[in-house]
Structure 1
Amino acid sequence: MTWEDAVRWCMSEPSMKELARAAYFDDPVVAAQRYHESAEFDAIRSMIPRKVGRALDLGAGNGILSYALAREGWSVTAVEPDPSALVGAAAIRTLADKTGTRINVIEAFGEAIPLSAAGYDLVVARQVLHHAHDLPAFCCEVSRLSREGATFLSLRDHVISGPQQLEPFLRSHPLHHLYGGENAFTLAAYRAALQGAGLTIDREMNSFQSVVNYDPMTASEIRERLAAVFRPVSGLVRTALFPLPFGAVARAAALLDRRPGRLVSFLCHKQGKG
């Protein structure tokens, strides 16, 4: 199957209906509007520059993040290699047309983007870095197309502790068995690629440390997930942690979380010449 085939199957399978909606694979316009109002994008809004300018959305998929940024006043260019009318470039163009939103769409891979060093103020990549065929080259393109001091935000990328965790992650992914396109890197690999491209990591958000990694789940649903994460920990530790505010528990859980395919997000900026 292609990625589009896998998504169509997910949308049509009754047992996958909630997953499809959570991944914003339902009605394109409704999904984009819902994402703009989501807790994830609210958190993103707090991390990106207040002064709007030119934004580059790499691996833009069906365009939900491009749409949200455009709604906030950003001048958005979406880069997406898949021409699909459901999950790719054609879907973004249709979304822009139906909503009257201006989004420039370029069909290209993130490792070789046919743009001059255009000096974007903001570069975003949602659920994209772990798909890179050449992670360092991808990050170098981010840096090349960013102005000095620009913000780069990578969101919801899969992490493994080492090569031994890759196969368990791929087996557990709900769609990988259909189209075979998933991947994951270690935290060290992500950090090295970002820093090697001249990007400074300002904030690393692991597992439950930020809503960008777990939205649309709620805090109460996350507490249930955390109970599973903490199951191997002694009862004394659990008794001490779980009465604490959710933020404190989430931070502690992120330190202990070693699941194959757990999520990480990075907030970075491009270093200046000085």
Structure 2
Amino acid sequence: MKDSLLSWEEAVTWLKNHPDKQQLVKFCYYDDPIEEAAERFYKSQEWEALQQKISPYLPSKVLDLGAGRGISSYAFARIGCQVTALEPDPSPIVGYQAIESLIAKTGLSIELATEYAETLPFPDNSFDIVYGRAVLHHAQNLKEFCQEAARVLKPGGIFFATREHVISKKEDLQTFLDNHPLHHLYGGEYAYLLQEYQEAIRAANLKLKTSIGPFESEINYFPKTREQLKDEIVSILARRFGKKLAIVLSSNLQIQKLVTQSLSRKSQTPGRHYSFLAFK
């Protein structure tokens, strides 16, 4: 790692300034205009899958933790939710000034708070949904983060942490950090064991409904599409049943579920994505 690290804004700017990194920039929704990036997320398979997971609770009062540029806040607001975006970074590129720009350009109603998730400035039982996209692994204190999320969540409310980096053993952490495209620049990435996330959520007196594996939902396997994953399922099934039967079997939702669960269990890739859905 470099002796002098960049800020998160500087690291993302470095990424955006490299022509060979533009696909990654779009996958991360760092591209401009910001309102077009936010609309692309709103139309994504990831957002579609997320809505399906929590549809009985929408629209509602939502807290978006570590909101970044506000793409998720935008999507929640687009479907009529009362949204508060929590983002302590003031950056006009990746922080709350970017969210202010998004609000100004779209006219959507999004409240803004600039504190950290470990010390939320809200009363108990304030929100129906507390959500964070790829934010829990950045927590300064994982247990305090979850405890604060639980505190401001209404009884019966949802805590949904998506796209969290998972490692199989502590020795895998450095491999993940070495392979991350920006960690060497700003030093802010991390990953936890699966059970560390689960224990922190349960310690906050939240009821963990499900831990969604890396291949079990578009929420986790984006930027891969469901069509690309289905092609992979066909290839796996074809080894045993032949191509024609594999194509037929791959259309069966139960078989899809069994294969993706198996792939998720077998995956040992450092930093693979899991999502956690819990209730208060």
Q: With structure 1 as the length reference, what TM-score do the two structures score?
A: 0.90
Is 2:88 the partner of 1:74?
Answer: no
* Partner in structure 1 of residue 49 of structure 2: 43
* Partner in structure 2 of residue 234 of structure 1: none
* 1:209 aligned counterpart, secondary structure: coil
Residue identity matched to 1:170? L
Q: Contact 1:39–1:216 at 8 Å: present in 2 too? A: no
Q: With structure 2 as the length reference, what TM-score do the two structures score?
A: 0.88
CA distance in 2, matches of 1:90, 1:29: 13
CA distance in 2, matches of 1:78, 1:219: 29
* 1:183 aligned counterpart, secondary structure: coil
The number of equivalent residue pairs is: 263
CA distance in 2, matches of 1:63, 1:29: 10
Q: Contact 2:167–2:191 at 8 Å: present in 1 too? A: yes
How is 1:202-213 mapped onto 2 (pairs within 5 angstroms)? 202-213=209-220
How is 1:187-226 mapped onto 2 (pairs within 5 angstroms)? 187-222=194-229
TM-superposition CA deviations, 1:19-44 (whole Å, max 9, x none): 00011011111000011111000011
CA distance in 1, matches of 2:230, 2:95: 34
Q: Contact 2:45–2:225 at 8 Å: present in 1 too? A: no
Is 2:181 the partner of 1:174?
Answer: yes
- The partner residue of 1:89 within 93, 96, 104 is 96
- Measured at CA, do residues 19 and 173 of structure 1 come closer, stay the same or move farther in structure 2, by a change above 3 Å? same
* Partner in structure 2 of residue 6 of structure 1: 11
Provide the identity percentage.
40
Q: Post-superposition shift, 1:223?
A: 6.3
Q: Post-superposition shift, 1:68?
A: 0.3
- Measured at CA, do residues 35 and 168 of structure 1 come closer, stay the same or move farther in structure 2, by a change above 3 Å? same
CA distance in 2, matches of 1:259, 1:224: 20
* Partner in structure 1 of residue 162 of structure 2: 155
* Partner in structure 1 of residue 60 of structure 2: 53
TM-superposition CA deviations, 1:52-74 (whole Å, max 9, x none): 22110000010000000001110
Q: Contact 2:58–2:81 at 8 Å: present in 1 too? A: no
Show structure 1 runs of 5+ residues with no match.
231-236
Residue identity matched to 2:26? R
* 1:78 aligned counterpart, secondary structure: strand
Is 2:36 the partner of 1:30?
Answer: yes
* 2:210 aligned counterpart, secondary structure: strand
CA distance in 2, matches of 1:261, 1:142: 23
CA distance in 2, matches of 1:183, 1:195: 21
* Partner in structure 1 of residue 264 of structure 2: 254
Show structure 2 runs of 5+ residues with no match.
1-5, 251-255
CA distance in 1, matches of 2:70, 2:227: 29
TM-superposition CA deviations, 1:167-218 (whole Å, max 9, x none): 0000011111111100000011000000000111112111111110012322
For the aligned residue pairs, the C-alpha RMSD in angstroms reads: 2.0
Q: Post-superposition shift, 1:220?
A: 4.8
